[in-house]
Chain A
Amino acid sequence: MFIDFMGVCFDQIFNQAAKFRYMFGGHAVTPVVVRTMWGAGLRAAAQHSQSLLSVFTHVPGLKVAAPSNAYDAKGLMIAAIRDDDPVIFAEHKMLYDTSADVPEESYVLPFGEANVVREGGDVTIVAIGRMVHTALEAAEELAGSGVQAEIIDPRTTSPLDVETILESVENTGRLVVVDESNPRCSLATDVAATSHRTRSGRCGRESSWSPARTPRCRSPTPRGPVHPGRAKIAGAVKTAVDYAR
């Protein structure tokens, strides 16, 4: 169902399914997969367009997957079904009619393993779901002006592959996070904050890198005009590049 309606079963998800393993000393498992549809783009108004991934990512005991393509969707879904923990499987509604090469055979994509969708040395763009594609369009545009963006699709927000993100940011020195959700307490704020240290635990030097975020504006009606688009992403990247040149 729409992720917007998940509130009707928050207790079962947050306080029961997510906690059973811990409440019963590991003797109980909750091998449940909840499929849900997220994101804006269908012009389906305020109650059918939200991007509430961060709400579920916030809760320990839940795993959250948000594939950006058909190949990842199959591998992550099989991983989710085989997993003994509850998984929120978030499918972006604007990606249902996209296609990719998908093997007939079964395969598993491990949770917590980001995909480096595009390699580049100038700036790191972290994007998930539909925004991976928008970020790719922006990256092609930026390549025209000599800026090579590396795009990382975390694929799962819980667990999150922090290692791959940090490795990339250490290399590029610049980070832009593209997020469809509301700006406060979002994937964008989380990744930007998490990345503000190096893998060795040291703080990044302010002068050498800058995070920029492109969440949409805070709005109860998450529709087209307030959404991160190609131009907005490219603008954020240019700001980051100019800041730390």
Chain B
Amino acid sequence: MPDEDRIQRVTMPKWGLSMKTGKIVDWFVSEGDTIAKGDDIVDIETDKIAGTLESSVEGPLRRIIAEPGSDLPVGAVLAVVAPADVPDAEIDAVVEEAKAAIESGALEEGDEPEPQLVEVGGRTISYLSLGPEEAGDPVVLVHGYGGDKNSWLFVQQPLAEDGHRAVALDLPGHGASGKDVGDGSLQTLADTVTGFLDALDIGRAHLVGHSLGGAVIAAVAKAAPGKVASLTLIAPAGFTPEVDAEYLRGFASASSRRELKPLVGRLFADEALVTRQLVDDLLRYKRLDGVDKALTAVLGTLLGEGDRQAIDTPAILAGVDVPVTVVWGESDRIVPVPDGVELTRVRAGHMPQMEAAGEVLGLVKARL
């Protein structure tokens, strides 16, 4: 094998649509270490969120190019991995080339995938499709209450890079979709997702849902099992009667950064992940006309009498013959981990797709 093929590059990931650059916080590995796929290698901070990059390559780490504190564009080469017998001169050449690419500014341009709009049942739905269209059953990602397609920033792009088609949509009343949710019922939301699959000519899909989105995709599988290749439920709604009703109500009514920030902190095991930008983006969403009404309507779907969960997801799934994977953050403060349910526990709060993205990604891929 020529040496060039044995040299692997660790690059700045793209976490979410708006990410242009990332700041290197700290390396967990040193030159000379041998790294494996999935190893935590470096902490990176974006204006939206801080995260840990897991290695997608394996072998000896020959050179670290990106210094802690440096702000680098998406795609920039951060480190070089190659077997020990590749000569230093060749590694140096790769480092020089990488530095030249950063300095030239060429990385900062390029075609950005844009979200698109589609009409479903009289409602405008915004979605982002990444990856090749002809890649078999696509993965369709459905966010939770008050979330949007950016919830999948650590999952969608890696799926696409791996050759899968990954489509994330905004539910009615959320993100950039129309703000009319009708009665806001689980049925309405599930019908919208089913209609969305039809509108995009997706015959069958692997559905991945977080929180409320988990209950929504369960309802989709119940109504149209033939359209569903598998279900991956991430901290899904409706498995326990208990829920942090104060969080749900507070989120629906919060109108300032001061009110919203502590609530958003409860979503994560590590509250330091909540950046100003994350809270500001949520506030911007919450200020849009119609969002207040939409969130109030959907709140009525989530919360029943005595502030207990109104949805019973296991009951919806009973008799549905579709493979189901359940994953839960062991420090979830919004919906507690249920007993007696076969599930994978990960080190995260209510947002495993952000805090334990690598494990979530692995579970999703295992179904593909």
Contacts and interface: CB of A to CB of B under 8 A. Distances in A.
A116 B257 contact: yes
Interface in B235-281: 255-258, 276
B287 interface: yes
Contact of B289 (A71, A107, A110, A119): A107
| Interchain residue pairs A-B with the least CB separation, the first 3 | A107-B287, A106-B289, A107-B288
B287 A108 contact: yes
A164 B290 CA distance: 27
Nearest to A71: B284
A113 B256 contact: yes
13 contacts: A75-B287, A103-B284, A103-B288, A105-B290, A107-B288, A108-B287, A109-B287, A110-B255, A113-B256, A116-B257, A116-B276, A119-B276, A164-B258
Secondary structure dominating the interface of A = loop
Contact of B288 (A71, A105, A113): A105
Contacts, number: 23
Interface in B277-311: 284, 287-290
Interface of A: 71, 75, 103, 105-110, 113, 116, 119, 164
Contacts of A116: 257, 276
Nearest to A79: B287
Report which residue of A75, A106, A107, A119 has the largest number of chain B beta carbons within 10 angstroms of its beta carbon: A107
A108 B256 CA distance: 12
Nearest to B178: A105
A80 to B, nearest CB: 15
A106 B257 CA distance: 20
Interface in B153-189: 179
A71 B288 CA distance: 12
Nearest to B280: A115
Contacts of B284: 71, 103, 107
Given A105-B290, A106-B289, A113-B256, 6 more contacts: A71-B284, A103-B284, A103-B288, A105-B179, A107-B289, A110-B255
